[in-house]
Structure 1
């Protein structure tokens, strides 16, 4: 047996907790302030709060009587940690109070599944992306729609505010068969967040399912089929590609200091990447089924993944980087200066 195979066996990683209880695929997850609790959303039509240290559910399921037959496909936590927003199969965007677990607003307008939601950094706006081909910006206090972007994607899979709230990125595809004889347009697109004007189209070979923006705004990362691409937002040039996944990369998430990227794929694995070298940290995190979501804790030490097997899993990132001798990747210092010069290069 080769030493490489032996090393791989020695490094086999198992989750530190499994959150069991959902009766449908876990499609989204957020970490609540304090580092101990998470909220998951599922195709089973519920949101649930979990204790990360014990893996047990806290309280009752969160449900909306008006959404008994639809699943929740996306979730995002407000910057102040008090409210979550969800996107669902009935086309509605909902706000939930974290303390009570109750719906406090329902926003209507989308005509298909809301696959992605994102808060502005200021917390006063939410952007949602739907299979109806639009991205919509909402006033988080009043629920009034501020902007409707006709993205020219046939289906929007992901939306994301830039860290300074000036731009919105979308990912998706368009069937351009009538124009070009049967091909598709796969792209991430960058929009002016105030006017909805298209700024840039970043062409891809397959659908863009996931996005992540470095906290200094200088780097945008995309996930598509198998590949993760890194772009310099000053020039919009691609500066790196992360290879390893063999199926759709449905979620990517950055650590607080931009040094680690986690990706979750339909190939049944999550991977953690060192963005100084663009190489994986440790072996792939193996799951029993396809993955839909992933989120780092605020300090980057725990990764939670959501799976089609109806469970969520917590992984000890701290142990992984220690085993690899890369403890500095979890430093809490301000690394914005060197991140812009080294990330993705």
Structure 2
């Protein structure tokens, strides 16, 4: 057989490595792509989440059976006209299974769709207005708030208006002011929302927010205005899901109107609270449980506590404007926003981006969560709808040390364990530690240390502990046999930061704040002998670490510089200078061919030895780093395990390039690597991949 080409050297891997790691870091997997012939404008889920309705600019509604991936969608005639064909809004009633839509000229149609997706003819409301602001379904699903124009200021009236439309019966009542001495005049409506109790709704207009009540008399609905709140440039309104509170957004920010708590009279709102934003607010929404109020303004989302009105967080997007926002109906504090060609899923409490959903070639017009909150659909001008699972993908994570033991190898010692895995050290306080056996029995306690304990390291033979004590002039040694502490002193003239025994246990390296890393002869486990070498660093020394074979000593300083020294003469063979602050971690793999370095904020690099003994960056591990408590390579060197200091878990990073490629290829929703990718970019002829019939063909669910 012909010899297989070797893996690319670290120097040429670095760029591709970064691209592949970005794919792994990105949480949010596209499960399915639904294609249309025209730009999509809106979408609605069926109550069970088994079907999806999409509306496009050509006036078509497609009904997709998500349980049958290969089935063609059912086409529903939306009843649009040639002058206004686009389907601008869709609503699917949860209990009555009525599907409502409106077109560019605000013609509203209501139809019955059964659980299998079959559609029956329904009611059509030919309103004829040219401003279709949207649709809102009442909580009892008996009425719709929809666009309307008849009875406005006249034939030239282009202002948006609203009407209460019957869902199960053919009925339309305009939202109008009328009196005994003046004719009916339709209120200008830019947005509307039902109160949670139903039969009351609010509207936002150019100069006021109105609250209206629907009453049924003699088999007919009547709409009357209950109260008006002056507000300049109103654009959007939203009712609190459980409390008598109404939020309105407009040209000058957000106003919250609060009431006394009488659910029978929700329009009695007595207090007014103004919330500042940097610009106009086009979208406001309360979280489903009512804890937060979100408002989109100038590319950012402002979040306030619902009860106090105090600003809780600000989520900053990349674009100057947001297309909208949508709360997850089931997962607390999860919010979706969209702008341009991408959508984001946020954890509003921490402000973290949980997932960035990319892949659309055109602007996203809407994003809608499924009823169970597990999927998000985005519809775009590129004529596709993409269904996402924002919880899939992202970095591999484990919660406990037991879960990562299979990666480290059977019997591998965990944090604090001795090399022979017979003892474990636990720090009990600033100046105390305890020693325990592998069976969980208490063995000894080191108490009343003269200084605070900063760090400890095990002797390779598990005979002693080396201790770094705050402000101590030298290291401390705790002998396991005698259970005694010995303080030793070398030539250090400043506080110590780290200790490292050579693999043979015959030499001890010390990192000192005076800018030197010193290597001492240490024939016994608990005493320093003569000084062998002194290594001058640019900044104060922070970390030292021997390679497993003892050939190299790695040093890290407060300036972020890493030194790799040949222990046979302590010549500096490499001095990488790419870090982001004081070095906190230096970890070798078992073969000594790879070194992991991390700064205090958790940003990590993988260094590999390339041609002619040169060391180069093979990988940058963290796009959004967190502080690390520790790190270790797996037994086979394929994985790096990084333990997060905040207790969030243990992250598993591919440490070998082959492992990284395999992870990307196996990621759900990712295209299989083509033959061209495999030979031209990856250069792995020995690794098998699924072929694609056409390398240029788009693949549903591909990561782009």
TM-score normalised by structure 1 residue count = 0.67
2:345 is the alignment partner of 1:11: no
The alpha-carbon deviation at position 91 of structure 1 amounts to 2.4
Return the alpha-carbon distance in structure 2 between the equivalents of residues 287 and 307 of structure 1. Answer: 12
Q: What's the CA shift for 1:227? A: 1.3
Map of 1:285-296 to 2, 5 A cutoff? 285-296=622-633
Contact 2:597–2:605, Cα closer than 8 Å, also in 1: yes
The residue number in structure 1 matching 2:556 is 223
1:307 to 627, 644, 647: 644
With over 3 angstroms needed to count, the CA separation of the structure-2 counterparts of 1:103 and 1:189, relative to structure 1, is: farther
Correspondence list, 1:122-133, <5 A:
122-133=461-472
Give the secondary structure class of the aligned counterpart of 1:282.
Answer: strand
* Aligned residues of 2:425 and 2:434 also touching (Cα < 8 A): yes
From 90, 98, 105, the counterpart of 2:438: 98
Which among 470, 475, 484 is matched to residue 135 of structure 1? Answer: 475
Distance 1:212 1:88, change over 3 A: farther
CA separation of 1:89/1:159 partners in 2, compared to 1, >3 Å: closer, same or farther?
Answer: farther
CA contact (8 A) 2:411 2:421 kept: no
Residues 288, 309 of structure 1: 8 Å contact kept? no
Q: Deviations over 1:260-293 (max 9, x none)?
A: 1111212431222213442222333234433342
CA distance in 2, matches of 1:237, 1:204: 13
Deviation string for 1:205-238 (max 9, x for gaps)?
2222222112232211111231110112222221
Query: Secondary structure at the residue paired with 1:110?
Result: coil
* 2: CA distance, partners of 1:123 / 1:207: 29
SS for the counterpart of 2:443 is strand
Q: 1:270 aligns with which of 598, 604, 609?
A: 604
Distance 1:310 1:105 in 2: 27
Q: Is the contact between residue 543 and residue 584 of structure 2 (CA under 8 Å) also seen in structure 1?
A: yes
SS of the equivalent of 1:220 reads strand
Larger radius of gyration: 2
Any gaps of 5 or more consecutive residues in structure 2? 1-13, 26-394, 662-681, 685-704
The offset of 1:32, in angstroms, is 10
Structure-1 residue corresponding to 2:459? 120
Matched residue count: 270
* Aligned twin of 1:110: 449
Instruction: Say if 1:91 and 1:110, in contact at 8 Å, map to a contact too.
Output: yes
Instruction: Pick the aligned partner of 1:204 from 528, 537, 552.
Output: 537
Q: Which residue of 1 aligns with 2:546?
A: 213
Q: Which residue of 2 aligns with 1:176?
A: none
The correspondence of residues 133-282 of structure 1 with structure 2, limited to 5 A, is: 133=472, 134-146=474-486, 148-150=488-490, 152-173=492-513, 185-193=514-522, 194=524, 195-196=527-528, 197-224=530-557, 225-276=559-610, 277-282=614-619
- CA distances 1:25-58 after superposition (whole Å, capped 9, x unpaired): xxxx999974588745xxxxxxxxxxxxxxxxxx
Q: Determine helix, strand or coil for the equivalent of 2:505.
A: coil
Question: RMSD over aligned Cα, in angstroms?
Answer: 3.3
- Inter-CA distance 284–147: structure 2 relative to 1 (3 Å threshold): same
**Higher RCO structure (Cα 8 Å, ≥6 apart):** 1
**Cα contact 1:120–1:165 (8 A) shared by 2:** yes
Q: For the Cα contact (< 8 Å) 2:641–2:653, is it kept in 1?
A: no
State how far apart, in whole Å, the 1-side matches of 2:536 and 2:628 are: 25
**Could you tell me how far 1:158 is from its partner in structure 2?**
0.8
3-state SS, counterpart of residue 152 of structure 1: coil
Cα pair distance change 1:32/1:92, threshold 3 Å: farther
1:266 and 1:292 in contact (8 A); partners too: no
Instruction: Say which is worse superposed, 269-278 or 145-154, in terms of deviation.
Output: 145-154
TM-fit CA distance, 1:306: 3.0
Question: Relative to 1, partners in 2 of residues 1:235 and 1:87: Cα closer, same or farther, differing over 3 Å?
Answer: farther
